[in-house]
Chains A and B, each alone.
Chain A
Amino acid sequence: MKINISHIAKLANLTLLPDEKLKLEKQLEETLDYVEQLNQVDTKNIEPTSQVTGLENITRDDIAKPSLSQNEALSNTKSKHNGFFKVKAIFKENE
């Protein structure tokens, strides 16, 4: 199997050094090989389980409660400006 490690790194928003890429690619392959054994388990007609609690319809009433203050919200950032979080300019592609 061939993994496009750069593509995966891009999806994962990780910047990898060339050495790191090689190592992670190898380890990713190892792990994929390892979990291959799951194919020995017959799962025909078996429903997947994504939650084990059996809970359903857990919701909250539509009541607004106080928020954090602006200071609290910004207390952990290193880059802010006039009450905003600040990042390097980005192209507006998702708006």
Chain B
Amino acid sequence: MNKLTLQKAKESLKNKDFSAVDLTKACLLQMKKTEPKLNAFVTVTENQALEQARKADVELASQGDALEAKPLLGIPIAIKDNFSTLGIRTTASSKVLDDYIPPYDATVVKKLKDAGAVILGKTNMDAWAHGSSTETSDYGATKNPWDTNHLPGGSSGGSAASVAANQCIAAIGSETAGSIRQPASWCGVTGLKPTYGRVSRYGVIAMGSSLDSPGPITKTVEDSALILEVLAGIDEKDATTSPKEVLEYSKHLDKDVKDLKIGISSDYFIKGIDKEVEELIKTAIKKFESLGAKIENIKLFDPKYAIDVYTIIQRSEVSSNLARYDGIRYGKDRESFAEEAKRRIMFGTYALSSGYYDQYYNKAQQVRTVIIKDFEKAFEKVDIIIAPTSPSLALPVGATKDTSMFGEIADVLVEPSSIAGLAGINIPVGFSKSGLPIGMQIIGPQFSEQLVLASAHQYEINTQNENWRKLTPDL
């Protein structure tokens, strides 16, 4: 039952096919079986999870409509370890926070708890979310469930691997530029990066404050929609959250794609892209065409510049955001930062330092404006944009060693939309011959979550019977 989608699990709980405790135990069992190979979790909260599940069962038994009021009641969920959890160790996969126990819950965590979710534990990530591999975790790399010699991507690699390995029903990740979509792509699951400001950042250990977007990693598009309904909305504790209305995303996924205008840009099929990736994305685009969508070739601002913009803005913000870790009020001192964090802090400090601000930070913010305008122009012509999520398949373990900007270069195709704060999703479109998943991203304008989810859902249900969907990771 741990293999169930969120929607199916909800139905079963409602029909009393099994209890929340049964479901939680099934997930914990799968964890016990697979964690030695995957290392997807930094902290497992078995006892608390079972306690929450027991409470959920009481509510499910006593109130017929309990799932209406609490849409995630009894659902086991894994949370990335950069979300503050009251009373539960939160490390962001850095030894600096090895023994840090937050005295408060992130808004996302609070919303999940209010919705009745069972929290299984905290998933592994690149330390401080600095990376696209989960290999820079101070708690060891997470492995890709489809081939444990390969990386899961990152930084939300633990969450993506956990969902792919059916250790949980769904997981929460966060994306600064690619950290949800890219690991979802490498692990063959769905990952939604909401518009910046759609989901509260309060309590999420900050990386690039002007970019960070929390979101769900799930088994289906519908599941992502269900979780977004819970997470989205204005938060008085996060001044950058939008007051825009939260929609019932999961109830409006059945809109067909007839006459949907889809933009394709050759700039996103970059030099050196994996041939199998290119092939499968093009097949997926044809699928949309066969469903009645209109495909239009558009010109987009070269994503290679997004690497520079992203590197400068993100590392500058990182250098400031990591300044609070001085070991006085919590955690260990600054000597405990690992290499990647030091690298980013040093670059960011340099880029902001006297005499260089205009050359780096300001320049990057100007090009950011160019990127935003470029997307605005594109979305005058098309409704959504489709592109590969990652130019490569999941890379082998060890790929990040001695690289000075691995993450920033690997995420080239997701960076422009992150820089512009747009909505985007990764959905699986098949596998390579070697058995590694391939993902496609759908990008929409700000606050177009409904359209992005509906388009992705249409692709998903119309490819439901394809053979590759029957594959499961062999663990």
Q: A62-75, CB under 8 A of B: which get 1 and which 0? A: 00000010001101
Question: Chain B interface (Cβ within 8 Å of chain A)?
Answer: 99-101, 103, 196-197, 210, 236, 239-240, 242, 304-305, 307-309, 311-312, 319, 323, 326-331, 334-335, 337, 339, 342-343, 345-347, 349-350, 353, 360, 362-370, 372, 404-405, 420-421, 446
* Nearest CB of A to B209, in Å: 9
A-B contact pairs, 10 of them (CB 8 A): A12-B346, A31-B347, A32-B347, A38-B308, A41-B367, A48-B369, A49-B372, A50-B365, A51-B240, A53-B196
- Asked whether any CB of chain B lies closer than 8 Å to the CB of A22, the reply is no
* Alpha-carbon distance A41/B370, docked complex (angstroms): 9
- Asked whether any CB of chain B lies closer than 8 Å to the CB of A11, the reply is yes
Q: A28-B346, A47-B366 are in contact. List 15 more A-B contacts (CB 8 A).
A: A8-B346, A8-B349, A8-B350, A12-B319, A13-B323, A14-B334, A20-B342, A24-B342, A28-B350, A35-B308, A38-B309, A48-B369, A58-B240, A75-B103, A77-B329
In the complex, the answer to whether B360 meets A9 with C-beta atoms within 8 Å is: no
- Asked whether any CB of chain B lies closer than 8 Å to the CB of A89, the reply is no
* Alpha-carbon distance A20/B337, docked complex (angstroms): 12
In the complex, the answer to whether A12 meets B330 with C-beta atoms within 8 Å is: no
* Nearest CB of B to A90, in Å: 11
In the complex, the answer to whether B330 meets A49 with C-beta atoms within 8 Å is: no
* Nearest CB of A to B44, in Å: 21
Instruction: Write out the residue numbers on chain A whose beta carbons fall within 8 Å of the beta carbon of B365.
Output: 48-50
Instruction: Write out the residue numbers on chain B whose beta carbons fall within 8 Å of the beta carbon of A87.
Output: 328
- Asked whether any CB of chain B lies closer than 8 Å to the CB of A60, the reply is yes
Instruction: Write out the residue numbers on chain B whose beta carbons fall within 8 Å of the beta carbon of A91.
Output: none
* Nearest CB of A to B210, in Å: 6
Q: Which residues 1-31 of A have a CB within 8 angstroms of B?
A: 3, 5, 8-9, 11-16, 20, 24, 27-28, 30-31
Cross-chain contact of A60 among B236, B343, B353 (Cβ < 8 A): B236
In the complex, the answer to whether B350 meets A49 with C-beta atoms within 8 Å is: no
In the complex, the answer to whether B366 meets A46 with C-beta atoms within 8 Å is: yes
Instruction: Write out the residue numbers on chain B whose beta carbons fall within 8 Å of the beta carbon of A20.
Output: 339, 342
* Alpha-carbon distance A78/B346, docked complex (angstroms): 27
In the complex, the answer to whether B331 meets A76 with C-beta atoms within 8 Å is: yes
Instruction: Write out the residue numbers on chain A whose beta carbons fall within 8 Å of the beta carbon of B372.
Output: 49, 52
* Alpha-carbon distance A40/B196, docked complex (angstroms): 28
Cross-chain contact of B360 among A35, A52, A85 (Cβ < 8 A): A35
* Alpha-carbon distance A38/B304, docked complex (angstroms): 9
In the complex, the answer to whether B103 meets A37 with C-beta atoms within 8 Å is: no
